[in-house]
Amino acid sequence: MTLSPMDTAASKTPESMAKRIRGLSDRTIAWIFVAPTIFLLLAVNIFPLIWTIRLSFTNFRVNRPNNDVEWVGLRNYKRILSDPDVWNTMQATAHFLIWTIALQVLIGFFLAFLINKKFKGNDMWTTIIVFPMMLSPAVVGNFWTFLYQPQIGLFNYVVTFFTGGDPASFSMIGDVHLAPWAIIIADTWMWTPFVMLICLAGLRSIPDSIYEAAECDRASKWRQFWTLTIPMALPFLMLAVLFRGIENFKMFDLVVQLTGGGPGNTTTLTSIDLKREAFEKWRTGYSSAYAVILFVTVFGLASIYVKALNKVKER
Amino acid sequence: MKTNLFTTAAVGAIVASSLATSAMADGHATELTLCWAAWDPANSLIELSKDFEEQSGHTMNFEFVPWPSFADRMLNELNSGGQLCDLMIGDSQWIGGGAENGHYVKLNEFFDANSISMDDFLPATVTGYAEWPKNTPNYYALPAYADVVGWTYRKDWFDRPELQTEFMDTYGRKLDVPASLEELRDIAAFFQGRDIDGTTVYGAAIYTERGSEGITMGVTNALYNYGFEYENPDQPYDLEGFVNSAGAIAGLELYKELYDIGTPPGSSNWYMGENIDAYRSGQVAMQMNFAFIWPGVEADENVGNGNSGYFPNPAGPAGQFAQLGGQGISVVAYSEKQEAALEYIQWFAQPAVQQRWWDLGGASALRAVVENPDFATSQPYAQTFLDSMAIVKDFWAEPAYADLLIPMQERMHNFVIAGDGTAKEALDGLVRDWTEVFEDEGKL
């Protein structure tokens, strides 16, 4: 009788182990494998979350371990939600989010659409376009700080070359109106390639046969684009919006490097504000409440969005 | 056979290493880690500490962190009770928190036992770097690096006859070191956008940085001299009318005017590094900066060699003051090598070591060094350093200094750089912010 490879492998399993496993149910074995992951999740995600919620109702400061910790109820939440500076910060974050996502999705999709065409040097262009997202945000921040320099910056030179103005007459990162745009431009330069890659994956997943059928029906290119390309790439576009939305909500290093949150508070995003409260002022209880509010906001918005995304995918 | 040889060698190495370790232990040789900011003086300290290593047998390790992340990194270390640092050259504002939160070892007994007297150090540095509460004989540090905000100027530009004539025609006085902040503003405006040797240059590089402490360290040099006080001298934490006095408002307006009419375009987030770069590259006629940069200016081939001059922060209507910088050296309470760390402080306090510290590019606060008759002529900037150290004032050193610093950064940047609101609104807002902090602290 010839043994199958499976039987051969089974026969080589040590007897004692086989016996031990034989005594366990599939469910138990499954739990043995899954338990470390669950334990890690609880330790790294769930426990800190619960602890943060608990701290948010106290006046605890991590740099004053000897002070008594008082239960202050909803005081931290009330203070945050009635603080106009916090609302300004939220507004700055929303402005940054809306514009970066809009620009990145539009430009990213356009680039993906172009790259998706078969032409010579296609791969080389893809690599060149993707290059900015390989850099560290801190490096990008530094790099753009130089580009925006009124005296020596290439950005100012290019703008004034076309407008005929004096390069030193405007400062992208020193002007309250321009500083948010300085960050939006740098972030868009860095992360549009990421959106392009997602869109490219979406466009390449559309079978050629669908376009061939449309050609047979004599559908125009414009109609093919609106009735085939966009709907079929939409879940990918929405995925890109989700990823970039979550990422940009946490935006920190690029902004710190470029403007430090200024001029004034113009570019102080929630992540920067939260960091200042938690690790510069050391108001641990207050910043925990701040973090909980942000968590609920992001979680709520993301949940609604994911539901919409699933509906689009089901269509 | 090979195996035997290998095993013998390994055992030999282990035994040798154990013997070496026990020998070290017998001689109390220890590896000490000193934490500080990563800047030029830190390199001088490494050089200086080689003598300590030779004399004591201890090994010195250094943990230097760039200024922008220095406070974050080191305060995290202290707050978490970390044992990385045995010695900490912490910022002057940390002394309150270091003392009250038990991060630093109180040094009074050690000083008494080793005849180290705080009277031997410049009084301003003792108050600024070592005492908590201020003006009480409770010491948590030894003054380590004396520093103060002062000014550097392009002497070679100031000396040009054609500029002298034009300045005289415009302002009716000689183009020279400014005697007041208003004169400084005029000089900055005079150089702004001027063509010098085919390059457009600007008036002055001043502190405007938003993220850490930059604009606060800059704007106070105008506020103090116009009458700003942190609190009522007769009633602690009474801020109204002192922080936002009429003089303080005028001082803040002057700083904004200086920013608007006399600084390089795009200098909206500048601190020490940016100011040095602008000055060395010939962009500005004057530079506000801490004195630690002066040895580097002298050594620079473009702006050194007599091309630069130095002057203390000019006076205002309410007096002449300058923002204190610098730090004291403390023993970290969580260190397990406190004895060796104290040895380092004892060694560092010696006059000969302090003199060598100055010679290497450090800045001694020991009176024996700075009051030596040869000191004032020892470097082109030495007299300015002495004059500046005599007029210092410091920011709050309360345990909650960060809660006080952040709103000041926000309010000052909002007004000076972003042009939001008025100077009065900015200072009134600061009073509100600081009052809330002191209420939370239970001090009001």
List B residues 143-162 in contact with A (Cβ-Cβ < 8 A).
none
Show the CA angle centred on residue B207, arms to residues A189 and B313, nearest 5°: 165
- Does residue B127 belong to the interface with chain A, where contact is any CB pair within 8 Å? no
Pick from A135-139, A221-225, A228-232, B421-425 the range whose average pLDDT is largest: B421-425
Q: Which of chain A's residues have a Cβ under 8 Å away from the Cβ of B400?
A: 281
| Chain A contacts to B (CB-CB under 8 A) | 59, 62-66, 85, 148-151, 153, 168-169, 171, 173-176, 256, 259-266, 276, 279-283
| Residue whose tokens read 């290119």 | A221
**Once rounded to an integer, what is the mean pLDDT over residues A22-36?**
86
- pLDDT score, position A62: 85
**Strand, helix or coil for residue B63:** strand
Phi-psi sector, B125: left (phi>0), alpha (psi -120 to 50), beta: alpha
CA–CA distance, B339 with B333 (Å, rounded to integer): 11
CA–CA distance, B160 with A64 (Å, rounded to integer): 57
Token reading at B15: 């035994």
Closest to B316 (Cα-Cα) out of B270, B368, B253: B253
Q: Provide DSSP, B380-420.
A: TTHHHHHHHHTTEE----STTHHHHHHHHHHHHHHHHTT--
Model confidence at A15: pLDDT above 90: no
Q: Which of chain A's residues have a Cβ under 8 Å away from the Cβ of B267?
A: 174
Longest C-alpha distance within chain B, in Å?
96
Per DSSP, B309 falls in state E
Model confidence at A1: pLDDT above 60: no
Determine whether the interchain pair B265/A281 forms a contact, defined as Cβ–Cβ distance below 8 Å: no
Token reading at A193: 């390639």
CA–CA distance, B354 with B122 (Å, rounded to integer): 13
Q: Which of chain A's residues have a Cβ under 8 Å away from the Cβ of B419?
A: 176
**Once rounded to an integer, what is the mean pLDDT over residues A22-49?**
89
- pLDDT score, position A6: 64
Q: Which of chain B's residues have a Cβ under 8 Å away from the Cβ of A176?
A: 418-420
Determine whether the interchain pair B417/A174 forms a contact, defined as Cβ–Cβ distance below 8 Å: yes
Percent of chain B with pLDDT over 90: 85
- pLDDT score, position A10: 62
Determine whether the interchain pair B265/A173 forms a contact, defined as Cβ–Cβ distance below 8 Å: no
Determine whether the interchain pair A66/B102 forms a contact, defined as Cβ–Cβ distance below 8 Å: yes
Closest chain A CA to residue B78: A63
Model confidence at B57: pLDDT above 70: yes
* pLDDT digit string, tens, across residues A250-305: 899 999 999 989 898 899 999 999 999 998 888 999 999 999 999 999 999 999 99
Q: With contact defined as beta carbons under 8 Å apart, do A79 and A234 qualify? A: no
Model confidence at B420: pLDDT above 70: yes
Confidence category of residue A310, pLDDT binned at 50, 70, 90: confident
Confidence category of residue B11, pLDDT binned at 50, 70, 90: very low
**Strand, helix or coil for residue B64:** strand
Model confidence at B224: pLDDT above 80: yes
* pLDDT digit string, tens, across residues A122-134: 888 888 999 999 9
Mean pLDDT of chain B: 92
Determine whether the interchain pair A263/B71 forms a contact, defined as Cβ–Cβ distance below 8 Å: no
Token reading at A88: 């300004």
* pLDDT digit string, tens, across residues B17-46: 443 444 344 456 899 999 999 998 999 999
CA–CA distance, B381 with B124 (Å, rounded to integer): 19
Q: Provide DSSP, B248-274.
A: HHHHHHHHHHHHHHHS-TT-TT--HHH
The length of chain A, given as a count of residues: 315
Q: Which of A63, A262, A280 has its CB closest to that of B268? A: A262
Q: Which helix (H) or strand (E) holds B287?
A: strand B284-290
* pLDDT digit string, tens, across residues B116-174: 999 999 999 999 999 999 989 999 999 999 999 999 999 999 999 999 999 999 999 99
**Once rounded to an integer, what is the mean pLDDT over residues B384-399?**
94
**Once rounded to an integer, what is the mean pLDDT over residues B271-275?**
94
- pLDDT score, position B407: 94
Q: Which of B75, B265, B413 has its CB closest to that of A171? A: B265
Q: Which of chain B's residues have a Cβ under 8 Å away from the Cβ of A138?
A: none
Q: Which of chain B's residues have a Cβ under 8 Å away from the Cβ of A66?
A: 101-102
Report the 3 state secondary structure along A88-155. HHHHHHHHHHHHHHHHHHHHHHHHHHHHHCCCCCHHHHHHHHHHHHHCCHHHHHHHHHHHCCCCCCHH
Determine whether the interchain pair A168/B269 forms a contact, defined as Cβ–Cβ distance below 8 Å: no
**Once rounded to an integer, what is the mean pLDDT over residues B260-270?**
94
**Once rounded to an integer, what is the mean pLDDT over residues A76-86?**
94
> Is residue B350 classed exposed, middle or buried when 0-12, 13-18 and 19+ CB atoms within 10 A define those classes?
middle
Q: Which of A149, A151, A260 has its CB closest to that of B209? A: A260
Q: Which residues pair with B290 in a beta bridge?
A: B149
Residue B101 to chain A, least CA–CA distance (Å):
6
Q: Which of chain A's residues have a Cβ under 8 Å away from the Cβ of B76?
A: 279
Model confidence at B47: pLDDT above 70: yes
- pLDDT score, position B3: 44
Radius of gyration of chain B (CA): 24
CA–CA distance, A24 with B122 (Å, rounded to integer): 77
**Once rounded to an integer, what is the mean pLDDT over residues B198-220?**
95
Q: With contact defined as beta carbons under 8 Å apart, do A305 and A227 qualify? A: no
- pLDDT score, position B17: 43
List B residues 54-93 in contact with A (Cβ-Cβ < 8 A).
71-72, 75-76, 79
* pLDDT digit string, tens, across residues B300-326: 999 998 999 999 999 999 999 999 999
CA–CA distance, A95 with B69 (Å, rounded to integer): 28
- Does residue B338 belong to the interface with chain A, where contact is any CB pair within 8 Å? no
Percent of chain B with pLDDT over 70: 94
Q: With contact defined as beta carbons under 8 Å apart, do B397 and B96 qualify? A: yes
pTM: predicted TM-score of the whole model, two decimal places = 0.84
What lies within 8 Å, CB to CB, of B444 at 6+ separation is B237, B435, B438
Residue A62 to chain B, least CA–CA distance (Å):
7
Model confidence at A80: pLDDT above 80: yes
Residue A261 to chain B, least CA–CA distance (Å):
7
In this structure, which amino acid lies at residue A173?
I
> Is residue B273 classed exposed, middle or buried when 0-12, 13-18 and 19+ CB atoms within 10 A define those classes?
middle
Determine whether the interchain pair A264/B75 forms a contact, defined as Cβ–Cβ distance below 8 Å: no
Q: With contact defined as beta carbons under 8 Å apart, do B146 and B125 qualify? A: yes
**Strand, helix or coil for residue B34:** strand
Confidence category of residue B13, pLDDT binned at 50, 70, 90: very low
List B residues 200-219 in contact with A (Cβ-Cβ < 8 A).
200, 209-212
Which of the two residues, A280 and B49, has the higher pLDDT score? Answer: B49
- Interhelix angle A84-116/A230-249, rounded to 10 degrees, is 140
